[in-house]
Amino acid sequence: MRKYYTHILLIALGAILYFMANFQRVAIPGAIFDTLQLDLHIKAPFVTALGAVYMYAYAFSLLLIGIMVDRYGGAKMILGGSILFTLGALVFPNTGNLPLLYFSRVLLGLGSATFYLSLVQELKKCFPDRYLGIAVSLMLFTGYIGGVFANAPFIILSDKFDWQNVMNVLAFITLFITIVYIFIHNNLNSIPTNRNAKFSIEPFKEVLSKKFNLHLFGFACLNYGLYYVIQTVIGVKFLKDFVQMSDTQASTILSVMVIVAGFSGMGMATLSKLWDNRRVVFMKTLSIMATLIFAVISICLILNFRTQAIGIILLFLSLCGGMSPLLVPIIHSTNKYEIRGTALSIMNCGFFLVVGILGTLVGVLLEAYAPVASFSGHLVYSNKSYLLVFGTFFLISLFEMYNAFKLKDV
């Protein structure tokens, strides 16, 4: 018999690692874009690549993690992932070598990818169905808090203590949690390997052969990608350069965006349930809203209309970040039981793959027009550069809207 409280303690430690994973994903490069660019003496594409390589590693890992969790168990996968994650966390703030920085971000992405699915599986083992939703919500809330701390609190601490020192403290906390996890994990009885869980290409073919799935993924991945690339890559930098907000003001907007996204998910799920489980109407509404937001920001850039109301506009965009409570039930209701897990893994992979691609693209577009140096030495990008970025986002949002209007409730 497994020791129940030992298992609960492992889940709690895993939730702390999940907090750290969300912090790492959101903080770099978005929160300290300028500082990284100045300290490392690199152009925008190399800064945004620090986020992109993390997203690529995270995205592609998700296609395999589900099978590995089923085969080896969530507790063991968290153990392996925590070691990779800790190595990445220790290396990143302690090197100025660019290839090594990218390698550390890959390690962070690979390690992070194990936490979510593994924690969900372990929560299923420890809690009955009537409490599972609450347990998963608490775990997700822990992740959201990591995203909140990755913006305003991180920038405030970085201004006072230097970003490397802050991230080193977090890295050593992560190391301590990982060591404790390994020690406690040894107190669990041996978990048998499920040799029936094997990777197969057939479920992927079946999922991707359904036109409904393709339109759903087209909407969901672009919706998430557009929101999250602002959250993790360009949001703070844009608000500072164009709107001329301070570090604290810009990062506070981004922190509030995380909170709004979290509450919007719960709100839409509740409204959907009250409205006879209608979900597609929310997707259509939010896709229209995203298109209008990118159009308005593009017009402001053309007219050089530098209003702090743009920060409020971005808060409305963060409503798009809470779609998962609607997307998961749609996947479950439109795909047979045997391929639901594969469909979810493809969609989640697509989420972060699009964020990585858009992050890479943002870096290239910013450098299309030469930036100018501010009094502090930071590079400031022009309206033309940001118009290329947000004009591209506008065009992509049109395709997102097209896919949303191809969907119907079933």
H or E element, residue 362: helix 337-366
DSSP string, 96-115: --HHHHHHHHHHHHHHHTTH
Three-state DSSP class for 210? coil
What 134-140 contacts at long range (C-beta under 8 Å, 24+ apart), as own/partner pairs, is: 138/15, 139/11, 139/15, 139/18, 140/262
- Distances 97 to 90, 91, 108, 110 between C-alpha atoms, Å: 14, 10, 17, 20
Least confident piece of the model among 26-35, 165-174, 383-392: 26-35
Three-state DSSP class for 121? helix
- Interval 36-65: pLDDT, tens: 999 999 999 999 999 999 999 999 998 888
- Interval 137-189: pLDDT, tens: 788 888 889 999 999 999 999 989 999 999 999 999 999 999 999 999 887 76
Average pLDDT over residues 189-204: 70
- Interval 275-312: pLDDT, tens: 888 889 999 999 999 999 999 999 999 999 999 999 99
d(CA 322, CA 327): 10
Average pLDDT over residues 245-259: 92
- Distances 328 to 65, 101, 332, 350 between C-alpha atoms, Å: 18, 34, 6, 14
- pLDDT at 112 > cutoff 90: yes
- pLDDT at 1 > cutoff 50: no
- Interval 225-239: pLDDT, tens: 999 999 999 999 999
d(CA 379, CA 52): 20
196: pLDDT confidence band, cut at 50, 70 and 90? low
| Burial per residue of 163-184, b for 16 or more beta-carbon CB atoms within 10 angstroms, e otherwise | bbebbbebbeebbebbeebeeb
- pLDDT at 216 > cutoff 70: yes
- Distances 298 to 91, 237, 309 between C-alpha atoms, Å: 39, 16, 14
Place of tokens 């599986």: 121
Give pTM, 2 decimals.
0.90
| Burial per residue of 125-149, b for 16 or more beta-carbon CB atoms within 10 angstroms, e otherwise | ebbeeeeeeebbeebbebbbbbbbb
Radius of gyration of the chain (CA): 21
Residue 299 CB coordination number (10 Å): 13
Which two structure tokens, joined as six digits, stand for 184?
């406690």
- Distances 207 to 203, 254, 323, 343 between C-alpha atoms, Å: 6, 35, 20, 6
Least confident piece of the model among 122-131, 176-185, 237-246: 122-131
197: pLDDT confidence band, cut at 50, 70 and 90? low
Place of tokens 């164009």: 242
Q: What is the DSSP letter of 93?
A: G
Residues with Cβ within 8 Å of residue 303, at least 6 apart in sequence: none
